[in-house]
Amino acid sequence: MAEHVVVIGAGVYGAAVTASLTRRGARVTVVDAGAPGSGTSGATFSWTNSCGKQPRTYHDLSVAGMAAHRTLAAEVPHSDWYHDGGNLEWAADDTGRAALRKKVDGVLEYGYEARWLDRAEAVRLEPDIDPAVLPAHEIAYFPREGWIEPTRLIAHLLSNAVARGTELVPNDAVTALEVTAGTVRAVRLASGRRLDTDAVVNCAGPQAGRIAALAGLTLPMRNTRGVLVYTSPVAVAVSRVIHAPHVHLRPDGAGRLLLHSEEIDGAAHLSASGTVDVDRSAVEKVARAGRRLYPGIRAATVESVRVGERPIPGDGLPVLGRVVELPNFHFAVSHSGATLSVHAGDLVAAEALGADHGAALAAFRFERLAPATR
């Protein structure tokens, strides 16, 4: 068994892997270029689901991820990061309705919970929604879906790991990996510190390709930006994830709502100063769509806007588990980190300590994307 494991990245994946490694008895050092949860995990819609995910192996992994969240939340007294209110979704035109029917038929075929609601049934679930914005029929309801509050989950996982001896090293970027004879021997940090290691787990999210390159591996990534709009606190009852035609929203704690729309993701751009800015008109567009949906938030203001960088491997599927050519180097990288982190992180941690989860992880190995180049 690997005695000392270095986990690179302290987002939801890094925290989940770290917690599992610590629970299994390993000595763990988790490092991050910033503060825990300050990267993608701090700017994500964090919807837990397997709604239309393909292929079947990805769907099944996501369903297992959803179950792992429910189990963890049930095991921890006063857990406050997991919410399972379900998801409502409808479409605005014939093309969208046809796509939604196809998605519902597909998940039902897989045994996933979904059903159709009419307007009155949807309003009973969400009484503050404006009935006029809802179609009379064909409102899809996915009752087992929900969302997490990533920073609260990260705090729980890391605080318990640190209490059991894990070392957390924030604000210290990885600058090099020492690789000899097909093994990662050490991790070097920007501070000059050198960490001897028996295994490395790459949980670096959008930076996973850079970390892989330090090990002589080529990980193709096609990261994208996501724009999230946070309202001021509002006295409106929203109890679940909502996917309306022009806005997606969910609660975000303390009475705030989190709004998103793929229509405004492209409004994020790099400014001359090097910061990522978002066109104000795009922010107002998604805010207006939210106000039309829930009239009670008309007085709400936009409290903040965050731009997250989604880590998406080249074919869109997760990259998980050990590398054949470099067997003490492991990946835990995907776009669906909010859904998968607890379950997939546990599988990856077990492999880092010598287990073989070939059946569960076969479809998500690094080798499908690119051969290791050394």
Can you give the residue ranges of every domain in the chain?
4-48+150-222+314-368, 84-145+224-310
* CA atoms of 275 and 272, how far apart (whole Å): 8
Domains 4-48+150-222+314-368 and 84-145+224-310 share a fold: no
3-state secondary structure of 344: helix
* CA atoms of 183 and 193, how far apart (whole Å): 19
Cβ neighbours for 164, distance < 8 A, ≥ 6 positions apart: 22, 23
Q: How many CB atoms lie within 10 A of CB 261?
A: 23
pLDDT in tens, the chain (374 residues): 679 999 999 999 999 999 999 999 999 999 999 999 999 999 999 999 999 999 999 999 999 999 999 999 999 999 999 999 999 999 999 999 999 999 999 999 999 999 999 999 999 999 999 999 999 999 999 999 999 999 999 999 999 999 999 999 999 999 999 999 999 999 999 999 999 999 999 999 999 999 999 999 999 999 999 999 999 999 999 999 999 999 999 999 899 999 999 988 988 888 777 788 899 999 999 999 999 999 999 999 999 999 999 999 999 999 999 999 999 999 999 999 999 999 999 999 999 999 999 999 999 999 999 654 44
CATH 3.30.70.141 applies to domain 4-48+150-222+314-368: no
Cis peptide before 55 (omega within 30 of 0): yes
Question: Hey, which residues does 319 pair with through a beta bridge?
Answer: 333
Q: Residue 238: which of 362, 128, 124 has the closest Cα?
A: 128
Question: φ and ψ at 297, to 5 degrees?
Answer: -100, 15
Strands 82-83 and 47-48: unpaired
- Identify the helix (H) or strand (E) that includes residue 186: strand 183-189
Chain CA centroid to CA 121, Å: 30
Cβ neighbours for 338, distance < 8 A, ≥ 6 positions apart: 12, 44, 45, 46, 47, 48, 147, 148, 150
Cβ neighbours for 357, distance < 8 A, ≥ 6 positions apart: 321, 347, 350, 351
Q: Residue 208: which of 14, 2, 1, 4 has the closest Cα?
A: 14
Q: Which CATH number fits domain 84-145+224-310: 3.30.9.10, 3.40.50.2000, 1.10.15.40, 1.25.10.10?
A: 3.30.9.10
State the pTM of this model. Answer: 0.96
